[in-house]
Amino acid sequence: MTLTTQPPVETPPAVRARRARRAASFSPSWWFAVPALLVYAGVVLYPSIVGVFYAFTDWSGIGEGKSFVGLANFRAILGDEQVMGSLGNTLLLTVAILVVQNGVGLLLALGVHAKLKSRTLLRVIFFSPVVVSPVMVAFLWKYVYTPDPSAGLNGLLGLDIDWLGDPSVALWSIAGMVVWQYAGYSMVIFLAGLEGVPKELHEAAMIDGAGTLQRFRYVTWPLLAPALTINLMLSTIGGLKLFDQVFAATNGGPGYATETLSTVLYKQAFVYGKFGYSTAIALVLALFVAAVSLVQIYYLRSREVAQ
């Protein structure tokens, strides 16, 4: 294969001027962002910062009575079995979702990227669960996961498993429904990455004698790195703050088997009436998610550059 380099074609001055004008009319000043920033500051930033204050109090969520308790809430978190148990559950769920959702998403993307007749229809079908509310998905899956051996998933697979009622299975059942819902989301991001892989590189590799697997390993995979970064980060954040599906499907049960950090902090605030303590857990969760995301993005970005 021969690569030819052509000398760059000189752009005529009139065209350059027109392009510059067009560019100027399409780059609004920074103050265009001010209304949006003000709304964001008022609705998100301000309440979040004020909320931090409650993490250092024993406020019950109602009434005026609250007193400053220093770091007591944070010390209590360390000794709280329920919080620590839910942290373990959250991490397990996150890893399971991260691996399976992105694996399935990538396979789906590769499948519908191929020259299939029905690929547009398939893309729509695989993506459609994403647009359903997570709570609705959980309610639907409660039917799929019915313990009746002759119905639902049990009936389909000829099994007799108590999907949501057996503490050693329930967590994975929840991971299953989350993957079902969001694999299509990962698929779309991978698909965008696949569309961006130049045909010429595949052609070049084919001429060099690379097979399908080799082309995936040495051409597609490295160029998918940015899509992978986004997908891993989104599924990590989604997994760490998982709430709706758990709340609707098992409410943290049986026992504490599917309790996540988000369901625990919800219960502390609204069921136990410990608003201050709940805010402290929320703060720790937020810092934890931020730290994990930063580490992840730092590592994956450096991997993108290296490749």
Residues lying near other proteins in the complex (CB under 8 A) = 22, 25, 60-65, 142, 145-147, 162-167, 250-257, 266-267, 269-273, 275
Residue 63 Cβ, how far from other proteins at the closest point, in Å? 3
| Closest CB to other proteins among residues 190, 266 | 266
On whether the CB atoms of residues 231 and 239 are closer than 8 A, the answer is: no
| Closest CB to other proteins among residues 164, 228 | 164
CA angle centred on 70, ends 64 and 72, rounded to 5°: 100
Residue 142 Cβ, how far from other proteins at the closest point, in Å? 8
Compute the distance between CA of residue 79 and CA of residue 64 in angstroms, rounded to an integer.
28
**Torsion angles phi and psi, residue 57, rounded to 5:** -125, 175
Compute the distance between CA of residue 55 and CA of residue 46 in angstroms, rounded to an integer.
15
| Closest CB to other proteins among residues 165, 238 | 165
Secondary element (H or E) of residue 87: helix 81-113
Half-sphere exposure of 21 (CA within 13 A, CB side): 6
Token pair for residue 214?
Answer: 């080799």
Residue type present at position 154: N
Residue 248 Cβ, how far from other proteins at the closest point, in Å? 10
| Closest CB to other proteins among residues 111, 254 | 254
| Closest CB to other proteins among residues 154, 220 | 154
Token pair for residue 96?
Answer: 């399971």
Q: How many residues does the chain have?
A: 307
| Closest CB to other proteins among residues 60, 296 | 60
Residue 27 Cβ, how far from other proteins at the closest point, in Å? 12
Residue 22 Cβ, how far from other proteins at the closest point, in Å? 7
Residue 289 Cβ, how far from other proteins at the closest point, in Å? 22
Token pair for residue 302?
Answer: 């450096």
Q: What single DSSP character describes residue 217? A: I
Residue 93 Cβ, how far from other proteins at the closest point, in Å? 18
Compute the distance between CA of residue 40 and CA of residue 288 in angstroms, rounded to an integer.
22
Secondary element (H or E) of residue 27: none
| Closest CB to other proteins among residues 218, 243 | 243
